[in-house]
Structure 1
């Protein structure tokens, strides 16, 4: 999901630009180079890359830093945990002297970035560090002097990060707005979280790691309640039967077994939902909705991820062909997706689902908390792949059914749509450091903290804990968890204990606030490094074309993705980032149309809002020129 800004932010940021809001801010470069990053008893950063386990590193004897962290991605409301035995953060603090303050750190709390930032600026309630802030917002923060410039400091104090992400292989990383301000080309963000697109480039000899983040597969999937599936297709496997088949087949699945529910196009999907509705299933006395049209935020999940798969536009996380801007290989230019006849047909399809009672009308007004509650209590029969159910919550509630993957046998149209390596920057993240809160002499220590997490020792500690914690055995370099429940959860993504062992020790947990950076794709992840074992709990993970079919991976073009957030210097996009909320609301409203005439009116109203928001023909022309001549100049030759 992309960051969003509003008109309120524009006014607030103008104060930032004038230097009247951020106390003590200056555009002068911080004189941190002369400061020592720690004491002489602290391990040198050049030594960290040689260490195999964190327990081998000495204790940090320098200054102790407790950082207030803001997770600004999306609308927030992410799950927090209170580990009983936090073996990870305690080890990170031991080695680096840095920790996140879990009592004062925060997310967006159900609000958009612009709304939360407005409150932060108005109250002068700044964090020490933040992630999830990119594009024009980062550029304005940089220009105002609110955040530290890291161009010279990143390679000096975080050399493993800087060297580990080669510019020539990851164009979207270094040219994208999540790290580099396109106003001056300088680095302001620390890239610590990576997507699976990056992983396929960084770790070409470990192909299975590509599956651990956003899927670079041709195919998309749905989560469907297996008890409902059984009523529709008695011969289709339940989740438990998939586990049994996995063992029987020796860890393999055929294409017929993977694509066992017939969804080859939108009509198949509609028929599928209609059959579910006709069952009249109830859950806790309430009717179960076959599907939904919104998740309490913007339209990204429906119109980029799910819709992109169903209509053959995208794969993976889909920044290349979202509902804003894209590069059309047939017209050979930048286009607005929301103006395409094919996309209007998609909107009509979503609206038909709502009108026919196949997608919940209430979802269009539910906030994120309401959606999550319904998702995790079985109120939706079918979930999008970006809305994985909380299996532990279902189990705790005594539910006997599970949600299993149902793959859609639909591949993206690469003759028209561009799938780029540059979309890696959209799937990654970076951290910015606020001058108002962090002293210049503390910046090197914070950068060394991030660098530690990028090394082998750091990556291992978030997945396994340090050796001193005693959670695993190691023989000939091969690790195995001692606790079977922990093994099932970390290796096979299956909760077998009443309470999460992963949470108990605070091992790496996507989509959970663990008060440290989340390394989305980690080449020391147990799911990659674990000895091959035919454990039934591994079945759901391996029930995936990327592991089973030779032609499952989608071809990508080495280019920067043409998404609107890569055009933060264009006037039209500067305006749009402050008006996006209006755009999203008008787009969602189209799905409430009562009939075709109403649809046409609401779509016409939406186009006016899009125009007023900055999405103009002139702006599109400017983006096309900028994409060809500046942003993607080096890679245009690859687009064929």
Structure 2
């Protein structure tokens, strides 16, 4: 599922484990000098000649997003390096709200910045059709590093446009080695200790565990009544995405198709109906059991992410569902509050059927990331300079700087060529006010795959240091008591990678008459999921389900499913040419 609307970048941050803040920093003791960083692919100049870049005027580009603590990119160390190399500075404009609605409003008014992140392909197609997105093809001959890094992706990115030109790039490509962790259930470690560190996997095991937890911990230290499980269903991606997400915890499906009307079946290489998927039904039944047992937070249906995180930060929630990419920050807040025993760790969950089948779980390896598109718009004053920066960001040097900081300051390189994080890197990764800039420039391209040297560009993804950077002494003690060697031990042993291929690019044309049908299918699922979760017993759940399917079939959902499979087959055939 991971196409949760505002959260895939945060989900990548979890996968890389240390980029948990929008920006990192230091005390500025090197005066902004670029020590240890030498350009590997920048144009060279002859002695006595002036680099044309040095004569260029300062180019300030507004970018909506980034950090609400950083106003200009040159406030950060990495931003200073970018300024020194290209004389480009980004002015960050924070935005809170529905991003896709904002993107479409900007298009309608023609008021959009020079560089723009667009989450989903339908909105991207609108910008392309309106002539608002700039074709990048003429710049590719001068962008060898960009062309090489995204050689597999570029033909697929082209497929989104009718004229097959390149208009966008995507950030967040990943592989199994650097994206092992599952986002399942987070639980307080003191609750685990109280029950003797049980081996939790099946839905029944979790329900029994949480029932006992509410008896053992009825109130917080401040006297508040505890919550069995908190969930941010109030987010747009809540009911649409994480309510049915049990489907990705089996061995047949991943969330590669997003939160729309379909799920991709890797076992049979085809799209299937989201609502009718057996594991989605089991997911809804699981929440119904949690609801009937009084475990599910009564406010879960309206809680947004911030409210959900607040319940974790206070330790009030004994567990949290799926939206666990911010746990490092939550745990730090609990430590500062003097409650280290209430920190959270992530443990697996599977439906009873999935446990019986015991299939290898599939973890998405993202070749395409259609919920993280970026474009250069027609409002760009100097797209050539932007592409020069983008090309540099595509080098190993650029990726390492953007994701790991400065050599010999934030990481060192040992005799075997392995990048090793420094204590400063660890400290700054946990510093919400840091101004190094790690993670801040991901819109220029963030490749979370393993590089040619066998390492991730994010030094925090080094398997030997992941837990040091993302866990605490208390959480690692809990994993040890569970018999785990690392925080991802379970998934490493029970999961395999599943490449996304072209699946994320398969979207219907926004002008297709079936688009409205698909939207109705999603709206219908969202509306009725809560009703199913609140059924008073199994019999009522079954009756509601039967009624729901009768109404749902009136939408002719098979027309949409068939169209998706037709588009997939056509795109596959075209790619094979």
Question: Which of the five TM-score ranges fits, normalised by the shorter chain?
Answer: 0.7 to 0.9
Q: Is the 8 A contact 1:421 1:559 kept in 2?
A: no
1:510-556: CA deviation from partner (whole Å, max 9, x where unpaired): xxx66854626273322356987996968859954766887544153
Residues 60-75 of structure 1 mapped to structure 2, 5 A cutoff: 60-71=54-65
Distance change (3 Å), C-alpha of 1:632 and 1:275: farther
Distance change (3 Å), C-alpha of 1:459 and 1:383: same
Q: Which one of the candidate residues 177, 183, 187 is aligned to 1:224?
A: 187
Q: Secondary structure at the match of 2:316?
A: coil
1:332 is displaced (CA, Å) by: 7.0
Counterpart of 1:206 in structure 2 is none
1:145 is displaced (CA, Å) by: 0.4
Residues 476-495 of structure 1 mapped to structure 2, 5 A cutoff: 484=423, 486-489=424-427, 495=430
CA distance in 1, matches of 2:488, 2:43: 31
Q: Which one of the candidate residues 377, 385, 390 is aligned to 1:434?
A: 377
Distance change (3 Å), C-alpha of 1:506 and 1:607: farther
CA distance in 2, matches of 1:90, 1:355: 55
CA distance in 2, matches of 1:577, 1:156: 39
1:582-631: CA deviation from partner (whole Å, max 9, x where unpaired): 3464144335534357646765776588678x772222222222222x12
1:461-511: CA deviation from partner (whole Å, max 9, x where unpaired): 2244345x95566676666666x3x24347xx7x4xxxx1x74233424xx
CA distance in 2, matches of 1:607, 1:295: 22
1:313 is displaced (CA, Å) by: 4.8
CA distance in 1, matches of 2:409, 2:392: 21
Distance change (3 Å), C-alpha of 1:588 and 1:447: farther
1:184 aligns with 2:163: yes
Unpaired runs of 5+ residues, structure 1, are 6-43, 51-56, 72-77, 201-209, 237-260
Residues 199-278 of structure 1 mapped to structure 2, 5 A cutoff: 210-211=177-178, 214-215=179-180, 221-233=184-196, 236=197, 261-278=198-215
Pick which of 615-624 and 320-329 moved more. 320-329
1:368-409: CA deviation from partner (whole Å, max 9, x where unpaired): 322232232222222235423223322333322221232447
1:362 is displaced (CA, Å) by: 0.3
Q: Is the 8 A contact 1:294 1:364 kept in 2?
A: yes
1:323 is displaced (CA, Å) by: 7.0
Structure 1 length-normalised TM? 0.67
CA distance in 1, matches of 2:357, 2:366: 15
Q: Secondary structure at the match of 1:362?
A: coil
Counterpart of 2:336 in structure 1 is 396
CA distance in 1, matches of 2:58, 2:356: 53
1:444 is displaced (CA, Å) by: 1.0
CA distance in 2, matches of 1:422, 1:566: 19
CA distance in 2, matches of 1:549, 1:425: 22
1:80 aligns with 2:68: yes
Distance change (3 Å), C-alpha of 1:625 and 1:516: closer
Counterpart of 2:80 in structure 1 is 90
CA distance in 1, matches of 2:262, 2:356: 17
Q: Which one of the candidate residues 74, 87, 111 is aligned to 2:98?
A: 111
Q: Which one of the candidate residues 130, 138, 144 is aligned to 1:152?
A: 138
Q: Is the 8 A contact 1:82 1:503 kept in 2?
A: no
CA distance in 2, matches of 1:487, 1:293: 32
Counterpart of 1:456 in structure 2 is 396
CA distance in 2, matches of 1:472, 1:96: 24
CA distance in 2, matches of 1:287, 1:594: 24
1:619 aligns with 2:560: yes
1:163 is displaced (CA, Å) by: 1.0
Distance change (3 Å), C-alpha of 1:573 and 1:447: farther
1:101 is displaced (CA, Å) by: 0.7
Q: Which one of the candidate residues 527, 547, 566 is aligned to 2:460?
A: 527
Q: How many residues align?
A: 511
CA distance in 2, matches of 1:231, 1:119: 52
CA distance in 2, matches of 1:334, 1:160: 34
Residues 323-362 of structure 1 mapped to structure 2, 5 A cutoff: 324-328=261-265, 333-362=270-299
Q: Is the 8 A contact 1:354 1:591 kept in 2?
A: no
Q: Secondary structure at the match of 1:319?
A: coil
What is the RMSD computed on CA atoms of the aligned residues?
4.5
1:465 aligns with 2:443: no
Q: Is the 8 A contact 1:329 1:416 kept in 2?
A: no
CA distance in 2, matches of 1:270, 1:87: 48
